[in-house]
Amino acid sequence: MWAAISQRHVKSEFGGYRDSLENSYINYYENLGVKLIPIPNASKDILRYFKELPIKRVILTGGQDVNPSFYNQKSAYSKDFSNSRDKTEMSLLEIAVERGMPVFCNCRGMQFMNVFFGGSLIQDIEKQHSKRIKHVGTSHEVEVVDNNAYELLKKRHFVVNSYHNQGITKGNLSKELIPFAISSEDQIIEGIYHLDYPIAGIQWHPERKGSDKKIDLMLVEAFIKGKLFWEK
């Protein structure tokens, strides 16, 4: 199976911009039989990739912030963002919605999913959230709050890794999205899905250490096979 995957968009030491994709994504998904097609952030015709290549899935990756202007806020804390990447991921979601294509959104990808469907973000959890618990470079417990997810995972609580400074709470979650996992410590939303489209996201990284690998595998295989949130 072929999947389109988004990339970071960063300024190089020589002044130009470059795309980058951590090798861990390649290694993780190839081991599960998924061949990844990185989508360039400079492309002017993303739809052409879907017309000419056998893409069946879309993955939105982590890294960088979503520009607050996309959810009608000024940048108070967010500085590491790329308008080109935001536009690329917007195009990827628009194409996926139009084609009814399953999308798996990881970390920043989940945040962008929320913004795409009309939600907003906490720009800095440690500075703006009432609990002010660290979510960068750590692991913590989440609680499954959705019965459909529980039927698959068979766990109410499990551990995930955490590499994000931005976040989502019930107050800024899109009205089109349903939470399925929430941080046990501070109620930051860690998993969401759309009721009508086969699109879901998690706030952690399956391809990195520090999370429950059995849970990760069940979720990623559900995405690949078109089950659970990705069965519409």
Q: Are 224 and 56 in contact (CB under 8 A)?
A: no
Residues in contact with 112: Cβ distance below 8 Å, sequence separation at least 6, in sequence order: 60, 66, 86, 89, 90, 93, 105
207 is catalytic: yes
Select which of 107, 140, 164, 194 is catalytic: 107
The catalytically annotated residue of 9, 135, 140, 205 is 205
Task: Mark whether 107 is an active-site residue.
Answer: yes
Active site residue 52: no
Residue tagged active-site, from 105, 135, 190, 207: 207
Answer whether 57's CB lies under 8 Å from 67's CB. Answer: no
Q: Give strand pairing partners of 136.
A: 163
What are the residue numbers of the active site?
Answer: 107, 205, 207
